[in-house]
Amino acid sequence: MNRKEFAEFLLGKTEHTKDEYEAMYPERNLDSNAMVTRFAPSPTGFVHIGSLFVSFLDRKYASQTNGVCYLRIEDTDTKRTVDNGVSNIIRDLANFDINFDEGMISDTEDKGNYGPYLQSSREDIYKAYAKDLIEKDLAYPCFLSPEEMEDIRNMQEDIKARIGIYGKYAKYRNLSVEEAVEKINNGEKYIIRLKSPGNFDNKIIFEDVIRGRMEFNENDLDIVIIKSDGLPTYHFAHAIDDHLMHTTHVIRGDEWVSSIPLHVQLFDVLGFKAPKYLHISPLMKKEGETVRKLSKRKDAEAAVSYYHEEGIPTYAVLLYIMTVANSNFEAWLDANPNGKIEDFELTFNKMSASGSLFDMDKLLNISKNYISRLNKNEVYDMAINYTKEYDSELYDLLTKYKDYSIDVFNIEREQAKPRKDLAKFSEIRPYLWYMYDELYEPETYEFMNVSDKDEISRILSTYMDKYYDVTDKDTWFNNIKLLADELGYASNMKEYKANPENFKGNVADIATVLRVALTSKSQTPDLYEIMRLFGKDRVLNRYKKFI
Ligand code: GLU
């Protein structure tokens, strides 16, 4: 049996040969600086905020260079695959405006000329390349049983040797074709391993786009390329896919850094030009004095679904992600508060090589600023979208009193420095419940300096009898001063400060009473606006309710 026949004997006939596949996926027709990136998750159904970060970088770099960003699903580890895993990823990322030019568009369908984009549908391709390696004596069948593998591992641990199949542990590396065929005819199970041409004592230099120059020992591990289920390992599959799909930049988590020598070697052995790599450090969380990885298990904010559930606007999350991606983005945003993400060009040299802190307070602050700059209709729409899913009672009110609600969102909005107090829509109920009679059932009233009930009643009734006027803000405020004067409170703060003992209090105390009796809260947006929106009858009713 010659090696070609041997390869066929091991892996069967493929629909196409390696050379045919090479011809089927020609170079892409793009500008020379265009980046071809891919997001390549396993379909586990869970999208980590770190994956959002990586896919965002993929999308952004491809977009800003007129390149291509595609979605490839790495489902060769069938144990990790869940139902709807792909469509969940597509949906979660689309929520953040991360859409792909090519790749999977549902759990089963894809678009684009470089597919299929689901690795489990590419078995024939991987086998064609594995067969080529077998023919060239760069891969071989290995008959080590799981028990033998375990024994080897235990022994290596005992004697503190490097773990893996190399050197003398690579027992079947040099089996002849005839010996291998005989074993297979006897029913022995096998997998396909790379016949690594490397020598561990050699050093290799690798240039990571973000981390710069790195030095490694050359790979000498005979890693598995085709598993017993006929599917490839990640190492083998990603090399072939990134080659055939003409990926120019691989952006991925730094858990793959230790595989760099292997991957460099695989590209070499396969005769491919390797893409450039950007290895991204995990997002870190500060907890007291310690800094640790954001964890799917411990941290709700590790899941991208969290941001949707909390009603943090997706664009605010992306703005925050930009600050993590490029250290100069924040200064740019300060200088261009209305600047759009697409107007800012991400650069490699402003990316951090070490783990970035994921700072929720900062994110919420960015979100607050962002929401404050939206117009009333935009905020209303977001409130509607959020409450529709998470607060049907409030949703009904926002819909029933649409125009009123839009006006509520407009309080202190269209001004040079808009009010900033809403960071996420999960806070929408505590933010505006008191603006709706249907929700208004205060348990306590946050009165401040004036808390005597009779005095408060006197203030409220005098105000309603003589001074209520919302024609315009000046008139309104003037009347409150007149009210203050009439009841023995200073309407002029200077006079009050000079002789506080001459007064019961000052005009601010009066305003506080009017505010708290109306809303039960000591802090609200502009009181004049609230009164104007309410109208006299509702103000009167609220005061009656208080009394
Ligand atoms: N499927 C790999 C993972 O889930 C992708 C790594 C890569 O982007 O190459 O980590």
Q: What is the atom index within ligand 1 of the atom nearest the CA of 74? A: 1
Domain with CATH 3.40.50.620 in the chain: 124-280
Cβ atoms of residues 462 and 479 within 8 Å? no
Q: What is the model's pLDDT at position 354?
A: 84
Supply 274's token pair. 């390797």
Instruction: With residue 10 as reference, give the H or E element that holds it.
Output: helix 3-11
Give which of 268, 7, 9 is closest to 128, Cα–Cα. 7
Max CA distance (Å), the chain: 112
41 lines ligand 1 (CB under 6 A): yes
Q: Is the CB of 238 under 6 A from ligand 1?
A: yes
- Quote the ligand 1 centre to 252 CA distance (angstroms): 6
Output the pLDDT for position 82.
83
**472 three-state secondary structure:** coil
User: Within 13 Å, how many C-alpha atoms sit on residue 212's CB side?
Assistant: 6
71 lines ligand 1 (CB under 6 A): no
> pTM of the full predicted structure?
0.90
Q: Which helix (H) or strand (E) holds 49?
A: helix 49-64
CA of 125 to the centre of ligand 1 (A): 19
40 lines ligand 1 (CB under 6 A): yes
Q: According to CATH, what is the number of the domain 124-280?
A: 3.40.50.620
The alpha carbon of 238 and the centre of ligand 1 are apart by a number of angstroms equal to: 8
CA distance 382 to 390: 12
Architecture of domain 453-546: Orthogonal Bundle (1.10)
Q: Which part of the chain has CATH 1.10.1160.10?
A: 285-372
Residues of the chain with CATH 1.10.10.350: 453-546
Residue-wise pLDDT tens digits, 251-261: 999 999 999 99
55: CA distance to ligand 1 center in Å?
11
Which one-letter amino acid corresponds to residue 318?
L
Distance separating alpha carbons of residues 146 and 159, to the nearest angstrom: 20
Q: Are the C-beta atoms of residues 403 and 409 closer than 8 Å to each other?
A: no
The residue among 340, 267, 334, 249 whose CA lies nearest residue 54 is 249
Rg (CA), the chain: 33
The predicted pLDDT at position 81 comes to: 76
Ranges under pLDDT 70 in the chain: none
Instruction: From the CA of 39, give the closest atom in ligand 1.
Output: 8
Q: What distance in Å separates the CA atoms of residue 368 and residue 419, rounded to the nearest whole number?
A: 9
263 lines ligand 1 (CB under 6 A): no
Q: What is the pLDDT of residue 395?
A: 98
Residue labelled with tokens 């030019």: 101
| SS3 of 193-252 | EECCCCCCCCEEEEEECCCEEEEEECCCCCCEEECCCCCECHHHHHHHHHHHCCCCEEEE
Residue 41 CA to ligand 1 center (angstroms) comes to 5
Cβ of residue 250 lying under 6 Å from some atom of ligand 1: yes
CB atoms within 10 A of CB 491: 19
pLDDT confidence of residue 27: 95
Beta strands in 305-421 (DSSP E): none
| CATH T-level fold of 285-372 | Glutamyl-tRNA Synthetase; domain 2 (1.10.1160)
- 293 C-alpha vs ligand 1 centroid, how far in Å? 18
Q: What is d(CA 489, CA 505) in angstroms, rounded to the nearest whole number?
A: 5
Residue 79: what pLDDT?
A: 79
Alpha helices in 374-427 (DSSP H): 376-390, 392-400, 402-410
What span, in angstroms and rounded, lies between the C-alpha atoms of 436 and 325? 42
pLDDT value of position 397: 98
Is any atom of ligand 1 closer than 6 Å to the C-beta of 279?
A: no
Residue 434, pLDDT score: 97
| Whether 424 contacts 445, CB under 8 Å | no
Which H or E element spans position 277? strand 276-280
Counting ligand 1 atoms within 8 A of each CB, the residue from 119, 238, 251, 276 with the most, and so the one to mutate, is 238
Of ligand 1's listed atoms, the one at least distance from the Cα of 256 is 6
